[in-house]
Amino acid sequence: MAAVERQSSRSRGRRKAPAGLRCLLVIAVLVGSTSTDQTEEYLKREHSLSKPYQGVGSSSSSLWDIMGNVLITPQYVRLTPDQQSKQGAIWNRMPCYLRDWELQVHFKIHGQGKKNLNGDGFAIWYTKDRMQQGPVFGSKDNFLGLGLFVDTYPNEEKQHERVFPYVSAMVSNGSLTYDHSRDGRPTELGGCTAMVRNLNHDTFLVIRYVKRRLTVMLDIDGKQEWKDCLDVPGVRLPRGYYFGTSAVTGDLSDNHDIVSLKLYQITVERTPTEEKLDKEVFIPSVDNMKLPGVDDSSESMSNFAIFLIVFFSLLGLVFAGVILLIVYNKWQERSRKHFY
């Protein structure tokens, strides 16, 4: 296949529209580009991984570290081979300080496994910690940040309404545990079915994080079109975390290959109101969603704040009362002196 430099999802457009409508859309986009909603994308090479992966895993100057059973070939980075009980990961060495970004992942999952005997899948990470082996698709549990999982095996027995492979997202503040036996359902923010195994065409997913909105889209049908998978507003992720990807096999196995990771910086304008609402955060959270640990502490913090306000108000009243009393006494004394 010809090596075509793919652009970010926004440049490519999400879905193809009929020709007439497309013309209108082009005009709308041209007009729109002069308005306030101006968006630009830049590929950030320091957070991207592409062929032929020069120096990855061998050079100390490489931007990427590998661990576990990773195999680097000129064509792909194999996180795990199609063998039992393997795990592998590749992590960016540079923390990412971008506010708005988009990560495009070109991947391939394939194996000899007969129907339904494949697993376990792979994860894309944007987390505080890196290079830590663990039970969540080969990486550590109770992570801080974002995990996007491409889960190829249904572990939960009751699987009536859900078809696997399944893509889901999770944001954790370090206190959430990924429930492997339930395929992460208790903690997922959203997800979709994605038939991504053993395909002859290229498969892509994109994680977009713009103005605190997390969206995931897939291009897995070989039609060069993005299809929505999940869309969650109010996702607050700190800056300075690391991108990485990891995979694991158990009794069931697959080749989990990463062809490329491309990170785009998204430049987007914010209104003063948006700017006010979009303050820098230091612990990951999702609006209107109670994550254990953080919400409890913020609640007790606000209770404590109320206590302080009441306490100092009372103290102020008492103080004012004492002053008034002293002044009154002095005044009385003076008037008594005048009287005599």
Q: Which residues would be at the binding site for Ca ion (CB under 5 A)?
A: 151, 153, 155, 183
**Minimum separation from the CB atom of position 18 to Ca ion (A):** 40
Q: Which is nearer to Ca ion, 142 or 155 (CB)?
A: 155
Contact 242, 65 (CB under 8 A): no
Smallest gap from residue 184 Cβ to Ca ion (A) = 8
Cβ 124 to Ca ion shortest distance, Å: 16
Least distance (Å) between residue 153 CB and Ca ion: 5
Element (H, E) at 87: strand 87-92
Residue pair 249/153 in contact by the 8 Å Cβ criterion: no
Q: Whole-number minimum distance, CB 198 to Ca ion, in Å?
A: 18
Residue 36 carries which side chain, given as an amino acid letter?
Answer: T
Q: Which is nearer to Ca ion, 71 or 252 (CB)?
A: 252
Nearer to Ca ion, 164 or 204 (CB): 164
Query: Whole-number minimum distance, CB 95 to Ca ion, in Å?
Result: 29
Furthest C-alpha separation in the chain: 113
Name which of 285, 263, 8, 224 is nearest 124 in CA terms: 263
3-state secondary structure of 199: coil
Burial class of residue 145, CB neighbours in 10 A (0-12, 13-18, 19+) = buried
Per the structure block, which two tokens stand in for 277? Answer: 């609402």
Nearer to Ca ion, 82 or 188 (CB): 188
Burial class (CB in 10 A: 0-12, 13-18, 19+), 104: buried
Give the closest residue to 131 by CA, choosing from 4, 275, 243: 243
SS3 170: strand
In angstroms, give the least distance from the CB of 16 to Ca ion.
33
Q: Give 35's contacts (C-beta < 8 A, 6+ positions apart).
A: none
| Closer CB to Ca ion, 55 or 135, in the complex | 135
Cβ proximity to Ca ion, 249 vs 255, nearer residue: 249
Q: What angle do CA 293, 298, 299 make, to 5 degrees?
A: 100
Q: How far is the CB of 75 from Ca ion (least distance, A)?
A: 27
Residue of 144, 70, 149 whose CA lies nearest to 105: 149
CB 264, min distance to Ca ion, A = 30
Nearer CB in complex with Ca ion: 125/153: 153
* Other C-beta atoms lying within 10 Å of the C-beta of residue 166: 23
The answer for residues whose C-beta is within 8 angstroms of residue 55's C-beta and 6 or more apart is: 61, 62
Q: Which two tokens stand for residue 47?
A: 């957070």
Residue type, 144: L
